[in-house]
A and B are shown apart, each in its own frame.
Chain A
Amino acid sequence: MAVEAGARRHPSWLEGLDRSAPVWALAAAALLLLILLPLGWLAYMSVSGERGFTFGHYARVFTDPRLQAALGNTLVLAFWSGIAAVAVGAPMAWLTARTDLPGARGIKSLVMASFVTPPFLGAFAWVMLAGPNAGYLNRLYRSLTGAEDPIVNIFTMTGLIFVVTLYTFPYVYIMIANTLGLIASDLEEAAAILGANRLYVALTVTLPMVLPAILGGFILAVLQALALFGSPAILALPAGFHTITTQVWSLFQYPPKVEMAAAFSVPLLLSTALLLLAQKKLLGRRGYASVGGKGAQRRIIALGPWRYPALLACLAVLGAAVFLPYGILAKAAFSRAWAQPLTWDNFTLGNWSFTFLYSSTQSAIVNTLELGVLTACVGAGLAALLAYVTTRQLVVGHQVLAFLTLAPVVIPGIVLAVALFIAYTRPPFLLYGTLWILFIAYLTKEMPVGYSQSDATFRGIHPELEEAGRILGAGRLRVLREITAPLAKSGIIATWCFVFIGVIRELSASIILFTPNTKVMSVVIFDLKEEGQFGAIAVLGLFMLVMTFGVVVLMQSLLGRDVMGGRASGAPG
C-alpha cells in the first residue's frame, strides 16, 4: 500500500483536542482556591507579629500552662473516645452483619439515627439526664436507693468521653460493617468445621481480617473527637477545663488574639494530618480493607443463648444515644421547668411559641435552610464533577486533585473557621458578615464526604458503559449527560442528602463565623444554652432532628436502598 501524503492526512491538534477539558480545569481551579487560600492565611497569621515575622506565638502555645492543659485534655478525650467507639462499634457491626441477632435491621436504623444526631444536642440532652443533682437519671437513682451522691456526673472528662463516644461510634460501625460485607465466610467456615466455637472463630479468624478496618475506624473516631466543639463547650467548660477547640474559641473573645488562635490551630492540623496518613497506610488507597470480591457468600453465625443478651447490649447503647436523649428533649420541650416531672401543671406549649416567635430563630431557620440547600447543590455538583474526573483519570495529576478534595477532612471545623475568618475579613474578599463566608466554610468542610460518596458511585459504574457511548459517536460531555448521569442519579442524590445533613448540624465553624444577621440554627441553640433556656433549646433541637430525619426518610424512599451500605447500583447485568 502506497504511503499517502502523510502531511495532509495527519490530524491537526485541534481535531484531537478533548473538548471537555476546560470544564475539568475550572473545577480544579475552584478547589484549589477554596482550600489553599485560607490555609495560606492561617500559616501567615500564625507567624506574624507586631514587628513582622515571629515564632513567639508558637512559643507561647508550648509554654503557656493553660494552653498545655487544653492540649492534654484534647489528647485524653480523643484517645479514649476512639477506644470506646471501637469497643462499641466493632462488636455491634459484627453482631448485625454476621450473626442471627434479632432485629438487626432495626439496630442499623438506630445507629443511623445516632449518626445524624448533632453531638452538641446529645451533650445538651445528657446534661438534663446526668447532671449530678438535677439530672433525671440521678434523681431516679436517688429516689430508688435513697443515696446522697449521684451515680453519674456528666460534667467530667469521663462524662464528656461518654457522650462523644455515643456519637462517634457510628463511624466505626459503618466502616467495619462495610468491610465485613466484603469478606467471604469460607475462612470462617473452615475454622468452624475444625471445631472452633463462634467466639473463637470471631477472635482468631474474623478479627485479624477486619483489623485494618478497626484501626481505620479508631483513627476516624479520634479525628471526629478532636474536632468537636459543642460537646466540650457544654460539658467541659462548666467543669472548668478546656479542649483545643474551646480554647481557640475563647481566644476570639475581645480583645481577639487571632494570631494565637492561628498558632494554636496549626498543631491540631498537623496531628490530624498525621493520623490520616497513618490511616491511609493501614487501609491502602481505597480506604477500606481490600479483602475478597464483591458480595461473597456469608454464613450467618448462630448466637444461641447469647442472642438476647447481645440484643440487650445493643439496645442499651442505642438507648443512651437515641432513646434517652430524644425522650428528655421531648419532655423539656413541653415543660415549664425541665427538672420537674411532666405533670399537667408543668405542661406548656409556651416554649414552642417563645422559640418560634423569637426573631433570631426565624431568621436562623431561613439561613440554615438556604445554606443547606445551596451547599448541598453546589457541593454535590462539584463533588460529582471531581469524582468523575478522578475515577476516569481525565486529567494529568488527577491524584493530586483527589488528594485536595479529601484534604479538608484534615482541617477541624474550628480551624477552618479561623482560617476563613482571617482570609475573608480583609480585601479583596470581604465576606465576613455575609452568608457567603458560611457557605464557603460548609462547602469546604463537606467536600470530603460528598467526594467519597460520589467516588463510590462512579466506581460502581463500569467505564465500558461510557466507552460504548463514545465509540458510537457521543462526546465526553454527552456521554456524561445521557449515560453516566442517569446511572449516577441515586448516588448523587445520596451525596446531596449527606451534605445537607452535615450543614444543618454544623457548629464548630459557624460559632466563629456568624454575625447576628447570619445566625444559623446550631448557633441559636448554643446561644440559648449560654442563657440556660432549656425549653427553647429542646424545641429547636427537636425541630432540627425532625428536619434531619425528614431528609433521611426522603432519601431512603427515593432511592430505596440501604443508605449506609454505600454501594451504588448501576453495573450492568
Chain B
Amino acid sequence: MTTLRLATAVLGLFLVSVALTPLAASAQDARLEAARKEGKVVWYTSLALTSSEKVAKLFEQAYPGIKVEVHRTGSQRILQRVMQELQANIKIVDVIHTSDAGHYVLLKDKKLLLKYAPAGIERFPAAFKDKDGYHFGLRATVNVIAYNTKSVPAAEAPRTWKDLLDPKWKGKLVTAHPGYSGVIATHVLALVNLYGWDYFKQLAQNRPMLVQSAVDPSGVVASGERPVAANGGDYTFYQVKKKGNPVEIVFPKEGVPLVVSPTAIAAFAPHPNAAKVFTDFIFGKAIQQVLADSEGLYTGHPDVTYPADQPKLSDLNILRVDPEELEKRNEEIKTRFVEFFGA
C-alpha cells in the first residue's frame, strides 16, 4: 500500500511539475512577446564603445526584432543626462550602466530604479549585488599603470603608484578624469584613502596630459603620445595589447582599485520588458564569458573562465571603495582634482 501511495505522490508531483512548467515558461514567453512589441531597448552605457557595440549586436542576433540603442559616454555624463532628462520630463532610457557605484546609491535614493534581479544572479558574489535588488555588477575592472614598451624599457618602468610621483616622469604621463569617468572617480577615492590628497597634488606637478575617458589612456600610450598612463581601466590596456600594440600593464603592489560597474533598469523605462530581457541576457554566461575573453573584463559570474594572461582577482591586492562614500564625496573628488590639475 505504501508503495502505491509513494508512486501516486511521485506521479502527482511529476504531473504537477509538468503542469507548472509551461506556466513558468509561458510567463517568460509573454514577457518576450511584450519585449518584441516594444521593439527596442535604450542603453546608456559607459562600457567602451567597441565592447558595448559588440554586446548589442550579440543581443540583436539572439533576439531578432528587438533593437539595442547604444548611447555610450562617460559615467559622469550618463548621470548628468539621466538627471537632466528627468528634470525636463523626458523619459527615454531603459537600462543605465555606469562605472560609478555612487550613482546607484543616489538613483536608488531618488526611487529612480526598478527592482529587478536578473536570472541566475543569486550565484554572484556579494560585491556584485545590491542587497535591495535594484542594481547588479555587470563587469569589473581594476585601475592599473601602463607603459609603452618602445619608449620605456621594462627596467625603468614605474612599479608602484608612488613611482609616478618621480620628477623623471614630468611631461610623460597621461591621466583620465574623474569628472567624466566612474572608473577614475573610484580610482581617485581609493588612492585618496590610501595616501591622502597630497598624492594627487604631487602627481599634478608632473603635468600629466588630461584626457576624459578611462578608455582614452590606452590609446594615448599605444600611440606613444605619452609613454606612461597613471591610471585607466585594465581591460582597455588588455584590449590594445591584444591588438599588438607595444603596451605593458603594471599591477601596483600597493593595491589596485577595484571598479565594479553596476547596471540597473530605470523605474520609468519606456520599454520595461525589453529591458528585462536585455538584462537577463547580459548577465547570462554567454555574454559574461565574452566580456572576459575578448574584452579583458572581470565578471561576477561563477562559471566564467578567464584568459591565462589575465591575473586572477584573488592574486591581486584589491582596494575597495564604499559606494556610499563614493556618492557622498563625488563633488569633492571632482572639485579637488580640478583644483590640482587645472581643468
> Residues on A close to B: CB < 8 A?
66, 69, 131-135, 155, 236-242, 246, 250, 252-256, 336-339, 354, 357-360, 425, 430, 432-433, 515-517, 527-528, 530-534
**Complex interface: chain B residues within 8 A of A530 (CB):** 73-74, 180, 211-213, 216
**Complex interface: chain A residues within 8 A of B72 (CB):** 360, 527, 531
Q: How far is the CA of A336 from the CA of B245 in the complex (A)?
A: 10
Contacts A430-B89, A515-B92, A532-B220 given; does A254 touch B79 at CB 8 Å: yes
Contacts A253-B80, A254-B76, A532-B215 given; does A134 touch B224 at CB 8 Å: yes
Contact of B341 among A131, A240, A246, A254 (CB under 8 A): A240
Q: How far is the CA of A241 from the CA of B73 in the complex (A)?
A: 22
CB distance from B117 to the nearest CB of A (A): 27
Interface members, chain B 22-69 (any A CB < 8 Å): 42, 44, 48-50, 53, 56, 67-69
A133 touches B227 (CB 8 A): yes
B73 touches A534 (CB 8 A): no
Q: Is B9 an interface residue (CB 8 A)?
A: no
**Nearest B residue to A247, CB-CB:** B343
**Nearest A residue to B67, CB-CB:** A359
27 pairs of residues in contact across A and B, judged by CB atoms under 8 Å: A131-B225, A132-B171, A134-B224, A155-B209, A236-B343, A238-B210, A238-B211, A240-B207, A241-B342, A252-B80, A253-B179, A254-B76, A254-B84, A256-B84, A338-B223, A339-B225, A359-B70, A430-B89, A433-B90, A516-B42, A516-B69, A516-B93, A527-B72, A531-B49, A531-B215, A532-B218, A533-B219
B79 touches A134 (CB 8 A): no
B85 touches A515 (CB 8 A): yes
**Complex interface: chain A residues within 8 A of B92 (CB):** 433, 515-517
**Complex interface: chain B residues within 8 A of A239 (CB):** 209-210, 342-343
How many residue pairs link A and B with beta carbons under 8 A? The number is 129
**Nearest B residue to A66, CB-CB:** B338
Contacts A256-B80, A532-B216 given; does A246 touch B224 at CB 8 Å: no
**Complex interface: chain B residues within 8 A of A358 (CB):** 49, 53, 70
Q: Is B71 an interface residue (CB 8 A)?
A: yes
Q: How far is the CA of A527 from the CA of B48 in the complex (A)?
A: 12
CB distance from A461 to the nearest CB of B (A): 45
Top 5 nearest A-B pairs by Cβ distance? A240-B342, A339-B223, A532-B216, A134-B225, A532-B219
Interface members, chain B 115-131 (any A CB < 8 Å): none
Q: Is B88 an interface residue (CB 8 A)?
A: yes
**Complex interface: chain B residues within 8 A of A430 (CB):** 88-89
CB distance from A302 to the nearest CB of B (A): 48
CB distance from B265 to the nearest CB of A (A): 17
Contacts A238-B209, A256-B80 given; does A133 touch B179 at CB 8 Å: no
Q: Is B15 an interface residue (CB 8 A)?
A: no
**Complex interface: chain B residues within 8 A of A133 (CB):** 151, 224-227
CB distance from B152 to the nearest CB of A (A): 12
Q: Is B328 an interface residue (CB 8 A)?
A: no
**Complex interface: chain A residues within 8 A of B79 (CB):** 254
Question: Main secondary structure on chain A at its contact with chain B?
Answer: loop
Q: Is B81 an interface residue (CB 8 A)?
A: yes
Q: Is B87 an interface residue (CB 8 A)?
A: yes
CB distance from B331 to the nearest CB of A (A): 8
B interface bracket (residues with beta carbon within 8 Å of A): 35 or more
Contacts A240-B210, A240-B341 given; does A337 touch B215 at CB 8 Å: no
Interface core residue of A69, A134, A530, A531 (most chain B CB under 10 Å): A531
Contact of A534 among B42, B76, B179, B219 (CB under 8 A): B219
B90 touches A240 (CB 8 A): no
Q: 16 other contacts beyond A239-B343, A358-B49, A517-B92, with CB at 8 A cut-off?
A: A66-B338, A133-B151, A134-B225, A237-B210, A237-B212, A240-B207, A250-B179, A254-B79, A336-B243, A339-B224, A339-B225, A358-B70, A359-B69, A359-B70, A430-B88, A533-B219
**Complex interface: chain A residues within 8 A of B81 (CB):** 515-516
B87 touches A425 (CB 8 A): yes
Q: Is B194 an interface residue (CB 8 A)?
A: no
B49 touches A533 (CB 8 A): yes
A433 touches B209 (CB 8 A): no
**Complex interface: chain A residues within 8 A of B69 (CB):** 359, 516
**Complex interface: chain A residues within 8 A of B224 (CB):** 133-134, 339
A240 touches B225 (CB 8 A): no
**Complex interface: chain A residues within 8 A of B215 (CB):** 531-532
B213 touches A255 (CB 8 A): no
Q: Is B192 an interface residue (CB 8 A)?
A: no
Q: How far is the CA of A120 from the CA of B291 in the complex (A)?
A: 34
Interface members, chain B 98-149 (any A CB < 8 Å): none
**Complex interface: chain A residues within 8 A of B218 (CB):** 532
Q: Is B11 an interface residue (CB 8 A)?
A: no
CB distance from B320 to the nearest CB of A (A): 24
Provide the B182-216 mask, 1 if CB < 8 A to any CB of A, else 0.
00000000000000000000000001011111011
**Complex interface: chain A residues within 8 A of B42 (CB):** 516
Q: How far is the CA of A425 from the CA of B88 in the complex (A)?
A: 5
**Nearest A residue to B209, CB-CB:** A238
Interface core residue of B71, B223, B226 (most chain A CB under 10 Å): B223
Q: How far is the CA of A527 from the CA of B180 in the complex (A)?
A: 11
Q: How far is the CA of A152 from the CA of B43 in the complex (A)?
A: 41
B80 touches A527 (CB 8 A): no
Q: How far is the CA of A288 from the CA of B81 in the complex (A)?
A: 45
Q: How far is the CA of A432 from the CA of B211 in the complex (A)?
A: 29
A134 touches B88 (CB 8 A): no
B90 touches A360 (CB 8 A): no
B342 touches A527 (CB 8 A): no
CB distance from A150 to the nearest CB of B (A): 10
Contact of B71 among A236, A240, A516, A532 (CB under 8 A): A516
**Complex interface: chain B residues within 8 A of A354 (CB):** 50, 53
Q: Is B222 an interface residue (CB 8 A)?
A: yes
